[in-house]
Every structure is written in C-alpha cells, then in structure tokens.
Amino acid sequence: MVPMTPNTPRGDVVSSPNLAIRFRSAVSLLGRFPALAGVDLDVARGEVLLVRGPNGAGKTTLLRACAGLVGISSGEADVLGHDLRADRRAVRRRVGLLGHAAFLYDDLTVADNLRFAARASGSSKAAADAASARLGLDGRLRHLTAAKLSAGQRRRVALAAVLARQPELWLLDEPHAGLDAAGRDLLDELVREAVAAGATVLLASHELERAAALATRSVVIAGGRIRDGLLGAAPPPATPTTPATPDPGKEPAHVA
Amino acid sequence: MWRDAALVAGKDLRVEARSRVGVNQVVPFALLVLVLFAFALDSDREVLAKVGPGLFWVAVLFAALLGIQRSFVIEADDDARDALRLSGLDGAGIFLGKAGAVAVQLVVLEVVLAVGVVVLYDIHLRSPVLLLLTCVAATVGLAAAGTVYGIIAAGLRVRDTLLPLLVLPVLAPVLLAAARACDAALAGAPSDGWPWVRLLAVFATVYVTFGVVAFGALLEES
C-alpha cells in the first residue's frame, strides 16, 4: 500500500531546497469560508503525493493554492522555493495544473489552443506539437475546434497543454476522470516519465486504485486540514516507483 | 510586454475570426441601430445629416459593449481565465492585447458603419484628417476603458448586466466628444473639432495608462 507518513509535531521539518512544497498552518479563504484551515504539509522534490479526501475537503483548493491561483491568508506556504504569500505569480510558470476545466477556447482548434498555451507559458511551438503528438492529438483531430471535442478528448488536450509546459510541479486534480482506458494508461506513463525526469507530482483523486499505483505517499485532507501524513516528506524514489498496491480496507469510511 | 500583447491580441482575433460573432451579430446589430434611429427620428435627410455623427457613435458604443463582453466571455468559458493567470503573462501585456483586439474590431465596425451613415444619412466628408484622428482617439479610449471595466465585471455573476451600467456613464464623454468632433469635421469647421479631439486623447491616455498599471491586479481579483 502507499506509505502513510506518521504524524510529527509541527515545525520539525524546516524549509529545505529538497522540498517542492512546504505549508505551515496555511489558511486560504474562499469568501469567509476557510477552504484550507491550517494545512501543514511537506512534499519532497521528486515525490508523487496522493491527496485523498471527501468532496469539499479542500483537495482542489490545495492544488490551486500550490499553483498560485488562490491566495494564502495566513500561515506559511512555499512552493518550489517561492513564498506564495509574497509573490504567488512567480511560481505559476513552473507548475502545470490539470484541473476540472480544460482551459480551452472553444472556437480555436486543438493545435491553436496548444500553441497559444505553450507560447503563453514561455514554451515553444515545437513543444506544443510534440505534446500533441504524444497525446494522440494529431491528424484530423488537430484541426477540430475544441467545441467539437468529446470530454475525454478535451481532457487529453488539457494534459497535452500541461506536458508542453514541462513543469517542475504537476498538479493533477482528478486526472483520470473522463479518460478512456488507453488515456488513463498514457497519463500514468507520462507522470512516471515526469517523475523520472525530476518533477514532483501532487495528485488529488477519488480513483484510489490507479492513483495509489502512481503515488509514493498519500495524505488525507478533511475540513481543510491534513489529517494523516501531517509532515515529514518521504524521500523521493531513485527510480520510477513500483506501483504500490492500494489497500481499500484502510480507506477512511468518509472518503467517496 | 509587447510580445505578450501580440500573443493575446492574436488569440482574441483568431477566436473572433473563427466564431464570426462580430460579422454575424455585432455588425448587423450596429447597422440595425442606425436604421432604427433613422426610422424613429425622421426620414428627412437634413435632420438625419445633422444627427448623423451622434447616431454613428451611439451605434459604435452599443456594438463596443457587445465586443467587450465577448472579449471576457471567451475567458470565462472553461475557466480559460485561470489559464491566462497560470501562464505568467504580463498583466500589462494581457491588457494591451485584449484592448488592441477590441480596437481592431471597432475599426472594422466603424468603417462599415461609416458607409452605412453615408448611404442612409447622405453625409459628406469635409475634413478627413480631423475625422481620422477623432476615430483613432475615440476607438482607443473605448477599447481601453471597456477592457478595464470588462475585467472588473468579469468575476461577477451579474457581469452581463453590470457591464453596461459601469461602462456607459464612463464612456459618455467619449460619445459627446467624438460626436462633436465628427460634426465639426463634416461641417468643414475643423477648428471647432480639435478641442474635442484633445479631450478624446486625454481620455484614451488616462485609461491606457490605468489599464497598463492596474490590469494585472484586477485580473488577480477577478
């Protein structure tokens, strides 16, 4: 099963260049609602961390906070060495977020969407084309407008946009949702390749079996707080991980 | 900043070219406004020639509202605005790109409407330089102010109804100045028009400057 790191007292782990993510009592408010209500979390570079939890627990907000898309109201939050409270824009070009939405312009073709996304993030047109080919978005599909794509195809385009950015930190929110079997296998393969190349992955998913096979460690978030695996980043694997076997029996009853 | 502006403007113009919303909806809407005003006021060509400049800019203003709304609707669909923020593009570049794309669409619209005004209202041009500068300054002002207020309204659920309420009072000086300057240009009295062109230039400068400085922060809060 995916190792659950034991809880350790707050502050045991200090900021380190080996940490991709370091949160201490991080609070993020959506209006007046604390979507993150004091998160303590360390994620080592090269780690694949699975974030589990029920709907509304704060998984998506945690990922969006790591991407610099939602603010941190109090506490400490460092991502890839950038203090999110001081400058959350600095981290954005270094992360890739696969969220619930595909971030596509419906009237642009697949090729145009990917090229714009790549060039806007400082990547090249060639990187966009390579990512497109890797995700099987070549041929006729490249010239279709995004409005004509199926949900699974939109997901592939979104994944290709992440791949084209070549991010140091992959933030994957329900990444398998909407993909067919081949697409899911390809996603897993891309994540393993990215980790082998030194990237860090934060993965929120309800598809525990698949996600656990990718992850090197997991934590549970509920009520905007990390409940298990509080601190203590696990060392990154030297090689791509051997898929761990999930243990559904250990899953908290409230997790969907 | 200029590279980012060109990238965003190119993307917005490509979206408009593919969707053809401007050609199929905005331009016909503006022409309809011209025709309906002509019906409503008087079929007497002398009256129409007198009010022509004002009607022209009212039609441009209404059509500009549609264009500005459209500019931000495409960012709201599928959360593309988040992708813009994630891209790390310079806020000033995004502003100049979006305002530039709106301005290009307005120029096309103005050319079509100008033909409509000449045909429908029997208007003759006497001072082309004044008219050209009026159109340039007013278009830049409309696009810049519209883009600033567009991003302010973009994050709100009531954005579609709020935007006209925010923008129309702000753009009233543009309407007034552009109509007066055009009036002077058409009447062959350019000296009467230059003060209005200067007002348009000041308005455009203020909103372009404000947008360049503030758009990044406004995008963050939207």
Q: Can you say whether residue A47 is alpha, beta or left, with left for phi > 0 and alpha for psi between -120 and 50 degrees?
A: beta
pTM (whole model) above 0.90 = no
- Best of B18, B86, B218 to mutate (most A CBs within 10 Å, chain A): B86
- Across the interface, whether the CB atoms of B88 and A102 are under 8 A apart is answered no
The Cα–Cα gap between B33 and B59 comes to 6
Contacts of B171 by beta carbon, 8 Å cutoff, 6+ apart: B61, B64, B141, B142, B145, B146
Instruction: Tell me how far apart the alpha carbons of residues A187 and B115 are, in angstroms, rounded to a whole number.
Output: 55
Alpha-carbon gap, residue A253 to B11, rounded angstroms = 47
Over residues B151-170, mean pLDDT: 82
Q: What is the ipTM of this complex?
A: 0.81
Task: Please choose, from the candidates B151, B179, B181, B176, the residue with its C-alpha nearest in 3D space to the C-alpha of residue B166.
Answer: B151
B74 in contact with chain A, both atoms CB, cutoff 8 A: yes
Residue A241 lies in a domain: no
Q: What is the model's pLDDT at position A229?
A: 53
The residue with tokens 């991502």 is: A79
Weakly modelled stretches of chain A, pLDDT under 50: 1-14, 230-256
Q: Answer yes or no: is A206 within a domain.
A: yes
Window A:98-117, CB contacts with B under 8 Å: 99-108, 112, 116-117
Quick one: three-class SS letters along B45-79?
HHHHHHHHHHHHHHHHHHHHHHHHHHHHHHHHHHH
**CATH at residue A161:** 3.40.50.300
Q: What is the pLDDT of residues B35-70, one digit of tens each?
A: 888 777 766 777 777 788 888 899 999 989 988 988
Say if the Cβ atoms of B18 and A104 lie within 8 Å: no
Least confident of B11-15, B59-63, B117-121: B117-121
Q: Determine how many CB atoms are found less than 10 A away from the CB of residue A67.
A: 26
pLDDT exceeding 70 applies to what percent of chain B? 98
CB contacts under 8 A, A 121-160 vs B, are 121-122, 145-146
| B83 touches A at CB < 8 Å | yes
CA distance A7 to A193: 30
Give the closest-approach CA distance of B39 to chain A in angstroms.
37
Rounded to 5°, angle at Cα B186 from B181 and B192: 40
pLDDT at position A14, please? 41
Position A70 in a domain: yes
Sequence-distant (≥ 6) Cβ neighbours of residue B49 within 8 angstroms: B121, B122, B123, B186
> Is A155 inside any structural domain?
yes
Q: Are A102 and B78 within 8 A, CB to CB?
A: yes
**Confidence at residue B43, expressed as pLDDT on a 0 to 100 scale:** 66
Question: Is A103 in Cβ contact with B78 (below 8 Å)?
Answer: yes
| Distance from the B40 Cα atom to the nearest Cα atom in chain A, whole angstroms | 37
Containing structural domain, residue A208: 19-234
Whether residue B88 and residue A92 make contact (CB cut-off 8 A), yes or no, is: yes
For residue B98 the two structure tokens come to: 């979006």
Distance from CA of A93 to the nearest CA of B (A): 6
* Predicted local distance difference test score (pLDDT) of residue A66: 92
- What gap in Å lies between CA A18 and CA A244, rounded to an integer? 23
Query: Cβ of B88 and A122 within 8 Å?
Result: yes
| pLDDT for B20 | 86
Residue A102 in 3-state DSSP?
A: coil
Q: For residues B77 and A228, what is the distance between their CA atoms, to the nearest angstrom?
A: 36
Q: Is A242 left (phi over 0), alpha (psi -120 to 50) or beta?
A: beta
Dihedral through CA A100, CA A103, CA A109, CA A115, nearest 10?
-120
- Residue A179 included in any domain: yes
User: Which residues between 87 and 106 in chain B have a beta carbon less than 8 angstroms from any beta carbon of chain A?
Assistant: 87-89
Structure tokens at A67: 């991407």
- B79–A106 C-beta distance less than 8 A: no
Size of interface A-B (CB pairs under 8 A): 68
Task: Give the integer Cα–Cα distance in Å for B81 and B222.
Answer: 9
* pLDDT band, very low/low/confident/very high, at B77 (cuts 50, 70, 90): confident
B24 interfaces chain A, CB cutoff of 8 Å: no
With an 8 Å Cβ cutoff, are B19 and A107 in contact? yes
What's the total number of domains in chain A?
A: 1
